Copies of this chain bind each other. A is one copy, B any other.
Amino acid sequence: MTARQMKLGAFLWATGHHIAAWRHPKAHVTAGIDIDHYIQLARTAEAAKFDMVFCEDAAGLREANIGIASQTSRSIGFEPISLLSALAVQTSRIGLVSTASTSYNEPYGLARTFLSLDHLSGGRAGWNLVTSASPIEAANFGATGLKPHADRYERAREFAEVVTGLWHGKASGHNGQSFSVRDPLDLPRSPQGAPVMVQAGASDVGRDLAARTADVVFTAAQTFEEAKAFYDDLKGRLPAYGREPDDIKIMPGVAPVVAETEAEAREKYEELQELIPDDVGVALLSSYLSISDLWRYPIDGPLPELPESEGMKSRQALVIEQSRRDGLSIRQLARHFAGARGHWRIVGTAAQVADELQARFEGGAADGFNVMPSYFPGELDAFATLVVPELQRRGLFRTEYQGRTLRDHLGLKRPV
C-alpha cells in the first residue's frame, strides 16, 4: 500500500440508525432478531471491503420508559457476541467488533469470549470497551444507581489491563484493586496477536484510557473543528504511553443520506426527520443529557441550565455546545440529535459525501469513519454502491483486502 487510505466500519443496528427508521415504509421492523438480515448486511459490507462491522450494545433496554423504548429503531435485537459468532462463519474477511461492558462482566470471562470469537473468525475480532453510563443497565445488575464516572474508569483501566494480559498470554497472575485472576486462558494466542481494542470514551479520563490501551477510537463530532480538536488531543496523548500516532485509528461516526441527486437525498432525509415523534426525540435528548425531567420545560424554549452529570460527560458537552452555537430550541435539538443520535450527518450525492469524508480525512481530523446508515438494508446498499466506488476512484479506499485479519485491514502492529 502506498498512499494512506481511510478505514471504514459499518455500524449495525437492527432496523437502522435513524431513530424513526422503524416508521419508514421500507423498514424491516423485526430486523433485530432476523439473522438472515444481519448475514445480508455483513456480506454487503464485506463485498464493499469495509474493515469491520461494529455492534453497539447496552445490557438491556435503552430507555427507562418502555413506551418510548418501543418507539425507537432498536427496541429488540440479538446480544452481539452470539450475533457476531454467527456472522463469523458466514463471512471470511471482514472484522467483527462488539461492545461489552467493564461494569457488568468479569475480565476472565470477557477475555475468553472475545478470544474465542477471534479464533472462530480467523483473527477478525475486536472489543469495544464501554464502562456503561446508563442507570437503566445498572438497575438490572443489582445496583441501585450508577457508580461515579471516575470509579467506572478506574475499574475499566484495571479490567483492560487484565484482559490484554490474558490475550498476550502473560503467565503470571493478576492481583489488583477490583480483580484477581490466577490462570492463563484455555485458548492459544490469537491469529492476529490479540483482538483489536476499541474505545469510545471522550471525557478526559476516557481519552487517557484510550491513549493507553485502544487500537481504534470511535467518537462523535458534529463539526470539522470538533473532530480535529479531538483527533489532535488524542494523538497528542500517545507519547506519554510510549506509543506512536499511527498506533491508534480514530474513526468518528458518520450518518450519511446519499442518493443519485442532492434533491433526492434531501427528500429522503426530510421524510425520515418528519417521522420522529416529539416525545421520542425529547426522551433521547434527555438520555444524552443524563437528566430525567427535560419534558417539563417548554419544547419550543431553550435548553435549561443542567447539573453536573455522572453519565456520558462528553455527549452532554456536545449537546450544550451545539445548543449555544445555533440557538436551538429543545424541539430542534431533539430532532437534530435524535435523527443521527448525535453523530455527524451528511446529506447529498456520492461525490458530495466523498468530498466531506475526504476533507476530514485529509485535514487530519479522522483516520476513517464508522458509517451509520439510516435504515437497513437500503441505506447500507446505497453507501456501498454509490460512495465506496467514489472513494475507491479517488484512491482513498481499498479495492481489495490485503490481509486476512482485522489488524491487517486496519494497518495495526501485531502485539508482541
Which residues of A are at the interface with B, using a C-beta cutoff of 8 A? 33, 35, 39, 59-62, 66, 75-79, 81-83, 85-86, 88-90, 104-106, 108-109, 112-113, 115-117, 119-120, 136, 139-142, 178-188
Contact = CB atoms under 8 A, between A and B. Distances in A.
Contact of A89 (B89, B136, B140): B89
A120 B86 contact: yes
Given A35-B120, A39-B89, A104-B106, A139 B183 contact: yes
A76 B33 contact: no
A336 to B, nearest CB: 26
Task: Name which of A115, A139, A141, A142 has the most chain B CB atoms within 10 A of its CB.
Answer: A142
A348 to B, nearest CB: 34
Nearest to A113: B79
Given A85-B86, A108-B59, A108-B141, A187 B76 contact: yes
A187 to B, nearest CB: 6
A69 to B, nearest CB: 8
A320 to B, nearest CB: 29
A254 to B, nearest CB: 26
Given A35-B119, A83-B120, 8 more contacts: A77-B187, A78-B116, A79-B115, A79-B116, A81-B82, A104-B108, A106-B142, A136-B183
A105 B113 contact: no
Contacts of A35: 88-89, 119-120
A192 to B, nearest CB: 14
A183 B120 contact: no
Contacts of A82: 81-82, 85, 88, 113, 116-117, 120
Task: Name which of A79, A90, A105 has the most chain B CB atoms within 10 A of its CB.
Answer: A79
A83 B81 CA distance: 10
Contacts of A185: 60
Contacts of A106: 104, 141-142
Contacts of A90: 89
